[in-house]
Amino acid sequence: MSGLLERTLGILEYLSEQEQPVELAQLSEQLQIPKSAAHRMLADLIRNGYVRQTRDQGAYALTYKLVSLGLSYLSKTGVIDMAQPLLDRLAAQSGELVRLSVVDGDRLTWVARAQGARQGLRYDPDMGSTARLSCSSSGWAWLSTMDDDAALALVAHQGLGLPKDFGPNAPKSMKAVLKALQDTRKQGFALTEETYTAGLNAIAAPVGLVGQPPMGTISVAGPSARLTRQRMVDLSHDLISCAAQLAAAGAVSPMLASGKSGTRLQPIYAP
């Protein structure tokens, strides 16, 4: 049963990464599942409304049911309501992409964003994606709140995001990741230059209260030609201030809050 469940979830995850519907043969080959077994699992997913089959080619794609479930869950947590104005404000201040992630077990998942001064909070293909901890500013910000052993264990579990798959400056070793985390702790925020994506720079800070594990991270990302190192340093105060406000607001969210009693409303990194 566990093997069947893992294969079914693998199909859902694989389809979520595809821009176009996928043929049965391709899915079977990529996931190393026999065609007959893959066909049965896809039929079950279609019957339950999670997958659809195109009329013309018979290829498979996700429906919006999983998205609907996720948005319904987020709406009940209060995350969107409390985060929107804060993300919008930081986006207006920076003129860049602002994203909120939440800690989800041993992963960091982006759940919301605001784009510049012209658009409010909205969801896009990045919604629900998981950050690569070893080379994203959000990953560094979260890992920097842990001791070195715990942080490196999470990186080892997920795997290094190497330059061939991510940005040209992605750390190539655990030693390089550890150096990045040490620098993050010293400066009070994570700063990455073309580590996650070529031509993209970003800064991030953990969202959390003193004495508690972080709830998530807040980040600002933009083209390296515009979001230079000095520009990121200049924005760091606004970033950390937003993280502090999100931490205070998140203390009342059922999903984000933990152990509110006796907690000081102070950010992990003080502005």
In order of 16, 106, 164, 177, the CA distances from 133 in angstroms are 20, 10, 16, 9
Tell me the average pLDDT across 233-251.
Answer: 88
Distance CA 59, CA 80 (A): 34
What is the second-level CATH architecture of the domain 68-250?
A: 2-Layer Sandwich (3.30)
Q: Convert the pLDDT of each residue in 118-152 to its tens digit.
A: 644 433 435 557 889 999 999 999 999 999 999 99
Tell me the average pLDDT across 106-115.
Answer: 84
Mean pLDDT of the chain: 83
Q: What is the 3-state secondary structure of 83-137?
A: HHHHHHHHHHHHCCEEEEEEEECCEEEEEEEEECCCCCECCCCCCCCECCCCCCH
Distance CA 83, CA 78 (A): 8
In order of 98, 211, 218, 243, the CA distances from 229 in angstroms are 17, 30, 18, 20
For tokens 């998140």, the residue is 250
CATH class of the domain at 2-63: mainly alpha
pLDDT band at residue 108 using 50, 70 and 90 as cut-offs:
confident
Instruction: Report the run of H or E that residue 220 belongs to, with start and end.
Output: strand 216-223
For tokens 């409304």, the residue is 49
Query: Structural domain boundaries of the chain?
Result: 2-63, 68-250
Q: Convert the pLDDT of each residue in 67-86 to its tens digit.
A: 667 666 655 656 666 787 89
pTM passes above 0.85: no
Which of the residue ranges 51-65, 123-137, 249-263 has the most confident prediction, judged by mean pLDDT?
A: 51-65
CB 209 within 8 A of CB 263: yes
Pairing of strands 107-115, 190-193: unpaired
